[in-house]
Chain A
Amino acid sequence: MKVDYTTEAPVIQERLSLAQIQELVAKPLDTKPDKKFFIALTISGSLLLFGAVLLAITFYKGIGLWGNNEPVGWGFPIINFVFWVGIGHAGTLISAILFLLRQKWRTGIARFAEAMTIFAVMCAGIFPIIHLGRPWLAGYLVPYPNQHGMWVNFTSPLVWDVFAVSTYFTVSLIFWYTGLIPDFATLRDRTASKIKKSIYSIFSLGWRHSNRHWQHYEKAYVLLAGFATPLVLSVHTIVSFDFAVAILPGWHSTIFPPYFVAGAIFSGFAMVVTVLIFVRKIFDLQSIITLNHLEKMNKVIIATSLMVGYSYAMEFFIAWYSGVPEEQFVFINRAFGPYAWAYWTMVSCNVLFPQLFWFRKIRRSVPAMLAIVILVNVGMWFERFVIVVTSLHRDFLPSSWGMFIPTIYDIGILLGSFGLFFTLVILFTKSLPVISISEIKAVAEGAQPSYHGGVNHE
């Protein structure tokens, strides 16, 4: 297939009219869900239920059911936390950073990616709280005047995490809802059902598409994008501080913040591509979420893959260059010790397979990219596994070395988080417009005035 890269590809293919675009996006909200929808919902719902039951047993019996034990006190919960927060980052990157960079193609995927951010952060938020052991005491993490007369330790990365993740969730939700307001108004004006109309009216807040409002609205959108951009970088930086601030070989590293942010964007884009491949097919959105979109995301994936690969190499270099034997031991142990299989899974999935995207044919082939992005998701989960487990399992005292063996509860709760994520994604696709209607209309061909808009008439 010949693709012309010298001119910018149109964001929307097939020259759809504004009304056609709106019908295409809003149709899934009106049609009855089909069999496939319920099959998908059943699978994800079962996973969710499985995880919820195992979590309930954990609450009843205690976290001794998990594989976490000395010397690996941070097991699956922290791995999953970092994994899910990372997944969330692609949404903010697409909606905020690409917005600031005036990348028009982001409009087709921004809404979906933002929704995935919110769902992923919800999944992530579960894990640190259940890892507390007594999750009902999670309120102690919030600084409030309490009967102990004590405050939280604001110099601890774990408290930074509380602030970063909750701020990130709140801001993402507000950003997402703000984007949805004009769409709710559009849905309100097109629906025939009375019940739907009143629901949409409530959520649209009575939006009137007024230009006097659009002016402030666009300003607010730029401001929010401007805040979300450093925010998204700060969140994974702070997550990486959880490790980097600890004085432990394998964790205590200044490379961690950029390394984690690159990895987060990498895994997030992989997850967005994974889900979008299905969504554009099932809801017949190929002309709005085009192959060009997927190709551009694959390019981001290969760029971040190289960053992540560079970080892997640089960690080894620093271990050697620092001359600290403990540091050197950790990295040699990582690559050739008992967890070598995990390390090489990570390297091959994250660095080797994405290199196939250098070929245009693979970049534009849906089955090939699906295989690669799923491998990237696996690889990025293993990256967190390698960082957490291999740094802990052999510490300074060989007598206290041990292995981390996950139990069915660990794995079940991880599957449950996937169940939660996909259940929310599936419900989202049928209840809200997966593409921002007002934004996508604005970038359609002929939607904006010609350069001297209307001057000729005067």
Chain B
Amino acid sequence: MNNGRKIFGVSALFNKPDDIINAAKIVAGKGYTEWDVNTPYPVHGMDDAMKIKPSKLGFVTLFFGLCGTAFALLLMWYTLSVDYPLVIGGKPFFALPAFIPVTFELTVLFATISTIIAMLIFFFGLPRNNHPLHNTDYMKKVSLDHFGIVIEAADPKFDEYKINELLKSLNPVSTAVIYEKEKVRYPIFEPKFITFLILIAVVVSFGTYLTLNKLMYITPFSWMDEQEKITPQSKSEFFSDERGMRLPVEGTVARGFIPYPFMGVEIPDKYLSNPFIPTEENLTLGKKKFLTFCSPCHGNFGNGDGRLRGQFPNPPSLHSTRIRNFEDGRIYHVMTNGKNVMPSYASQITRDERWAIVNYVRVLQRAENASDSDIEKIQ
């Protein structure tokens, strides 16, 4: 029967719930510690009869439930209040009432999963299919409709003969000695076989990688070298004009660029009026832009003696009576449209800056042609 195996324990089977409660009480009373009762369903009052302490599982649930709460709140606080704050529906960045549903769900989720995992793995030591009780008559009976009790050999007071006598005195249906299982060696867990599997996995992965990514180099392993998108300047099969890049709709105006309607017109100054008054700020801007763009030809003070003198036909002085009598609009038009060899500056100088230059030119003209009465005014 025992084949030289170690004894796991001595068992007895009962067929009435009252009997097993009684047996449990007596065994517990004798001071055994390593023993257990196996019943097909939880029998009421058994925990008291066995004198086992109340389950501490609730603490696991509480702890991990609170972890879930904290995780949910921290996640939402970090994402919506810190990392990417967005005003949504006028709510504050940390909108606690709107966070309650997710907090609740995560609390329940964390608590449930942790309770079950803790119970099965840490409280029960499952999964364990090689326990000595498995595949015994005893297990088959308690699975169906019997109630069993086992006193294990691990108990310090274990004595096979004494326990057999004790259990027999309780009017059991039967008693039996249960032996430890022989160690079973599974060939698939042999180190050689596992090494072999790992080797195959490595070879297959590396071979696949090499074949697909390096040798064959076909989609989708070609690192997206071939793409169906239309690149700039390439031909399109889809549009009838075969342009890959699309032209804007006729008359499209880019943002911030107001078209100038007087290009090439001689003197449109009656349609143009200076929108700026010569404030200090405006004049500073005008001066800066004048010195940058105008002074190379016109000179720093508009005398027509710029640094490029001689390389181009000299521009006229801005202090001639003719130019002093120009309307603001006309000077603006010259800058925008160009004149003679002077090109258009519309693309380099913005509209507002051109008007600022006009104001600055007026200042230069006034200063260069000051009368005595002007000097008196300053003094």
Contacts and interface: CB of A to CB of B under 8 A. Distances in A.
Nearest to A197: B135
Contacts of A160: 101-102, 105
B116 A178 contact: yes
Interface stretch (A56-64, A200-208, A320-328): A200-208
B341 interface: no
B180 interface: no
B55 A209 contact: no
A220 B47 contact: no
Contacts of A208: 38, 131, 133-134, 139
B108 A227 contact: yes
Contact of A151 (B50, B80, B113, B133): B80
A446 B18 CA distance: 10
A170 interface: yes
A223 interface: yes
Contact of A453 (B22, B98, B130): B22
Interface string B96-114: 0011011011101101110
Contact of A163 (B79, B101, B140): B101
B237 interface: no
Contacts of A188: 143
Interface of A is mostly: helix
A206 B131 contact: yes
A159 interface: yes
B113 A174 contact: yes
Contact of A143 (B24, B36, B79, B128): B79
Contacts of A155: 80, 88-89, 91, 95, 98-99
A154 B101 CA distance: 9
A234 B101 CA distance: 8
Which of B19, B49, B130, B134 gathers most chain A CB within 10 Å?
A: B134
Interface stretch (A211-219, A283-291, A422-430): A211-219
Contact of B101 (A19, A185, A238): A238
A189 B140 contact: yes
B83 interface: yes
B176 to A, nearest CB: 16
B162 interface: no
B202 to A, nearest CB: 29
A214 B39 contact: yes
Contacts of B40: 18, 186, 209, 438, 441
A300 interface: no
A132 interface: no
A164 B36 contact: no
A153 interface: yes
A216 B47 CA distance: 10
Given A22-B144, A454-B18, A458-B22, A211 B115 contact: no
A171 B112 CA distance: 7
Contacts of A223: 57-58, 61, 111, 115
Which of A149, A190, A213, A446 gathers most chain B CB within 10 Å?
A: A213
A34 to B, nearest CB: 26
Contacts of B193: none
B101 A438 contact: no
Given A143-B79, A149-B84, A458-B25, A18 B144 contact: yes
A220 B84 contact: no
Given A155-B99, A454-B25, A209 B112 contact: no
A215 B108 contact: no
A164 B100 CA distance: 12
A188 B44 CA distance: 25
A453 B18 contact: yes
Give the size range of B's interface with the partner.
35 or more
A143 B76 CA distance: 9
Contacts, number: 209
Interface string A120-134: 000000000000000
A234 B103 CA distance: 12
A18 B36 CA distance: 22
Given A163-B106, A227-B108, A449 B18 contact: yes
Given A155-B95, A205-B126, A212-B52, A174 B116 contact: yes
A16 B22 CA distance: 25
B21 A441 contact: no
Interface string B133-164: 11000011011110000000000000000000
A453 B142 CA distance: 19
A150 interface: yes
Interface string A167-196: 100110011001000100110111000000
Which of B39, B79, B130, B143 gathers most chain A CB within 10 Å?
A: B143
Nearest to A449: B17
B127 interface: yes
B99 A154 contact: yes
A234 B100 CA distance: 11
B13 to A, nearest CB: 12
A103 interface: no
A337 interface: no
B42 interface: yes
Contacts of B25: 454, 458
Given A160-B102, A449-B21, A215 B47 contact: yes
Nearest to A226: B61
A36 interface: no
A150 B88 CA distance: 14
Contacts of A202: 127, 129
Contacts of A217: 42, 119
A442 B42 contact: yes
B45 interface: yes
A149 B79 CA distance: 10
B124 interface: yes
Interface in A37-58: none
Given A206-B129, A453-B18, A216 B101 contact: no
Given A210-B38, A211-B39, A223-B111, 4 more contacts: A143-B79, A164-B101, A211-B38, A454-B23
20 contacts: A151-B84, A153-B80, A154-B99, A155-B98, A157-B101, A163-B102, A163-B105, A164-B105, A167-B109, A171-B109, A208-B139, A210-B37, A211-B38, A212-B36, A214-B42, A219-B55, A223-B61, A438-B41, A453-B17, A457-B22
Interface of B: 17-26, 36-47, 49-50, 52, 55, 57-58, 61, 75-76, 79-80, 83-84, 86, 88-89, 91, 95, 98-99, 101-102, 104-106, 108-109, 111-113, 115-116, 119-120, 123-124, 126-131, 133-134, 139-140, 142-145
Interface of A: 17-19, 22, 143, 149-157, 159-160, 163-164, 167, 170-171, 174-175, 178, 182, 185-186, 188-190, 201-202, 205-220, 223-224, 227, 230-231, 234, 238, 241, 438-439, 441-442, 446-450, 453-455, 457-458
